[in-house]
Amino acid sequence: MMGAEFVALSLPPILIGIFAAVACALPGNFLLLRKQALIGDAISHVVLPGIVGAFLVTGVVAAWPMMIGAGVAALIAVGMIEAIRHLGGIEPGAAMGVVFTTLFAAGVLLLEQSDTSTVHLDVEHALYGNLESLIWLDGMGWHSLLDAGALRGLPPELPRMALTLLLVIALTWLFWRPLTLSTFDEGFARSLGVPVGAVGLGLVIVAAIAAVAAFDAVGSIIVIAMFICPPAAARLMTNRLEVQIAWSVTFATLSAVLGYVLAGYGPLWLGFQDAVSAAGMIATVSGVILALAAVFGPCRTRAGTA
């Protein structure tokens, strides 16, 4: 399990899974504290019309146009949600529900209408991703990690996801102070001159970037689960934001590794032959972690109640 086969078949997907999970969990912490946790859910639904639209425009299934299309769709969705909220005086949850279901429906319709039979583009791919297929054929063993030629054969999702993660970390670190201030006490932040609206929009955009990049590699289930479950479990462990973020990164990493291993090897251990969906298993593991935190977490109850 730890030999050459592992490096070629399991290392890249596990790394991609970890990067994607952490990249989503970091902004997820702030979204959770701002009671905007479902933004991740909405974004991952509207990614579908975005990628289908990008395919219709460019005619090819390529990563960059699709990510741009998904990003544009996410921005359109956020704009529509805000417009419906303000023009119609609708509460945010319902406005979100109207927008993401409509855009998702439009995406499905576009997909059915366009001739995508020749290319690999379908709803299931969008939902589950294909983590298992991101293998590294040039990886002959651990020594390949030092071989430039072999490294060039890595699945392109890996560097892209790593880059996204670095971007998310850098932005979180750079904007730490305005972000935390406006998350916990918007009025105070505004009185200090923090552009609260811009910070909120920036957070949503970063979340969208993470969601779109991760979605390309691992499908939207992991994206939704990682936005919410690790931060929520971490929130039940501590009262301090720094510690919460550390916990959430730990939980996200743990979910990715355990989920992938259980999906790949669990059925074999139980005597079955085929592996199960890694994306689904990662989401499931993150749910189990959240359930454990909800039952045993030291800070699980609201302040003031027993």
Partner 1 sequence: MLLEALTLQLGYNATLVTIGAALLGLAAGATGTFLFLGKRALVSDAISHATLPGVALAFMAMVALGGDGRALPGLLLGSAISSAVGLLCVSALTNRTRLSEDAAIGAVLSVFYGLGVVLLTVIQSMSSGRQAGLESFLLGSTAGMLWNDALVIALGGALVLALVALLRRPMTMVAFDPEFAAGAGMNVHRIELAMMGLALAITVVGLKIVGLILIVALLIIPAVAARFWSERVDHVVLLAGGIGGVSGYVGAAISATAPGLPTGPIVVLVAFGLFALSLVLAPGRGVLAAILRHRRFQARVHVRQGLLALAQGQPIYEPLTLRLMRGRGLIRADGVATKAGRAQAARALLDERRWQLLRSDPAHEEAAAHYDGLTPLESVLTPDQLRALDRGLRPGDVQAGALQ
Catalog residues that contact partner 1 under the rule CB under 8 A.
32, 35-38, 40-41, 45, 84, 87-91, 93-98, 101-102, 104-106, 108-109, 112-113, 123-124, 127-128, 221-222, 224-225, 227-229, 232, 235-236, 263, 267, 272-277, 279-284, 286-287, 290, 294, 297, 299-303
State in angstroms the smallest separation of the CB of 35 from partner 1. 5
What residue spans of 114-219 are helical by DSSP H?
Answer: 123-128, 148-151, 157-174, 176-184, 186-191, 196-218
Q: 255, 21 in Cβ contact below 8 A?
A: yes
State in angstroms the smallest separation of the CB of 202 from partner 1. 20
Contacts 24+ apart (CB under 8 A), 130-134: 130/219, 131/13, 131/16, 131/17, 131/217, 131/218, 131/219, 131/222, 131/260, 131/278, 131/279, 131/282, 132/13, 132/263, 132/264, 132/275, 132/278, 134/12, 134/13, 134/16, 134/158, 134/217
**Of residues 38 and 140, the one with the C-beta less far from partner 1:** 38
State in angstroms the smallest separation of the CB of 236 from partner 1. 6
**Of residues 194 and 285, the one with the C-beta less far from partner 1:** 285
State in angstroms the smallest separation of the CB of 159 from partner 1. 26
State in angstroms the smallest separation of the CB of 106 from partner 1. 7
**Of residues 117 and 191, the one with the C-beta less far from partner 1:** 117
**Of residues 39 and 194, the one with the C-beta less far from partner 1:** 39
